[in-house]
């Protein structure tokens, strides 16, 4: 199967206006994105069937006959909707979050500075425990967050390979953006520049269908609330962002950098991204 046939939905909430429930038109509340991920995973599992021997209801890749960007196909605005039976195709979500701290399934709350489970301060940054691996991290404006909902049977049924592939996509995107010296570190997940963490990863898989994913710090806003935690539980390590590493001007917006990430994901996973209707 060629890369042009391996078509994956792209839900691009970075370059489009967000839901009314957000305080910022360019960000999405965490629970809203989390619910959306879980919905897409359920569609994937329904496509796959309940037993390993069940044949999938339809292919995991988007049919070539669907092209929302081709006006000649008679795709009026009213018709530009994903058919419900194709919601279980592979998907990638790209967005910025409202400020939030997330904890993995076994994360230690001691890595949240001043944590008090009885705190009722409505102005505090929300803390959400989710089903990914890893320790506490922060999401917020200025950071690009990417959630691949992929059936690894169409790639490689190996979680270690998948994590390294996500890191490779980040490294490629950073290189495209002119960030020099980005690297992995032995026995740690994520991507680092000059001993500072610039991108974090945390995933969950059910029957080889992935959710959660990666976050890359782009502009200075993305660093503002990391002082409230020990990021990823790594004492003494600091975080950085793309604009602090490239120096000079012009600096990147999240929208600018998202273009490089899209290209990198297509190259590493050998797919073509198909933008969903807005």
| Mean pLDDT, residues 74-88 | 72
Tell me whether residue 148 is exposed, middle or buried, using C-beta atoms within 10 angstroms of its C-beta: 0 to 12, 13 to 18, 19 or more. buried
Q: Find the catalytic residue in 173, 215, 232, 261.
A: 232
pLDDT of res. 22: 52
Identify which of 226, 153, 221 has the alpha carbon closest to the alpha carbon of residue 196. Answer: 226
Instruction: Report the share of the chain in percent with pLDDT over 70.
Output: 87
Confidence category of residue 55, pLDDT binned at 50, 70, 90? confident
Mean pLDDT of 200-211: 96
241 tagged catalytic: no
pLDDT of residue 76: 46
Give 144's Cβ-side CA count (13 Å radius): 29
Contact 144, 257 (CB under 8 A): yes
73 has pLDDT over 70: no
How high is the pLDDT of residue 247?
A: 79
Q: Which of 29-33, 70-74, 148-152 has the lowest mean pLDDT?
A: 70-74
Q: Give the per-residue pLDDT at 129.
A: 93
pLDDT over threshold 80, residue 38: yes
Question: For the ranges 60-74, 192-206, 251-265, which has the lowest average pLDDT?
Answer: 60-74
Q: Is the pLDDT of residue 204 over 70?
A: yes
pLDDT at residue number 77: 44
Report the chain's mean pLDDT, rounded to a whole number.
88
Q: Is the pLDDT at 112 greater than 60, yes or no?
A: yes
Alpha carbon distance 218, 95 (integer Å): 12
The lowest-confidence range among 40-49, 101-110, 261-270 is 101-110
Q: What is the mean pLDDT of residues 248-252?
A: 80
């Amino acid at each position: 199967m060629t890369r042009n046939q391996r078509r994956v939905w792209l839900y691009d909430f970075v370059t489009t206006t967000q839901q009314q429930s957000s305080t910022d038109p360019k960000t999405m509340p965490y629970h809203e994105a989390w619910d959306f991920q879980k919905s897409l995973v359920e569609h994937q599992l329904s496509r796959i069937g309940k037993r390993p021997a069940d044949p999938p209801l339809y292919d995991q890749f988007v049919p070539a006959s669907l092209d929302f960007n081709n006006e000649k196909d008679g795709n009026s605005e009213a018709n530009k909707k994903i058919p419900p039976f194709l919601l279980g195709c592979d998907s990638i979500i790209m967005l910025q979050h409202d400020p939030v701290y997330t904890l993995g399934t076994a994360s230690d709350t001691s890595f949240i500075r001043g944590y008090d489970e009885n705190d009722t301060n409505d102005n505090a940054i929300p803390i959400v425990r989710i089903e990914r691996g890893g320790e506490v991290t922060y999401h917020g404006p200025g950071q690009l967050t990417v959630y691949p909902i992929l059936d690894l049977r169409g790639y490689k049924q190996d979680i270690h390979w998948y994590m390294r592939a996500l890191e490779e996509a980040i490294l490629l995107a950073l290189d495209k953006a002119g960030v020099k010296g980005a690297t992995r570190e032995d026995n740690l997940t994520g991507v680092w520049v000059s001993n500072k963490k610039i991108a974090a990863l945390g995933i969950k898989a059910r029957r080889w269908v992935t959710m959660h994913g990666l976050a890359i710090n782009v502009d200075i806003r993305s660093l503002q609330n990391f002082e409230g935690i020990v990021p990823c539980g790594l004492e003494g390590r600091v975080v950085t962002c793309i604009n602090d590493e490239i120096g000079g001007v012009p600096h990147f917006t999240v929208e600018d950098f998202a273009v490089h990430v899209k290209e990198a994901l297509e190259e590493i996973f050998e797919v073509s991204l198909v933008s969903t209707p807005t």
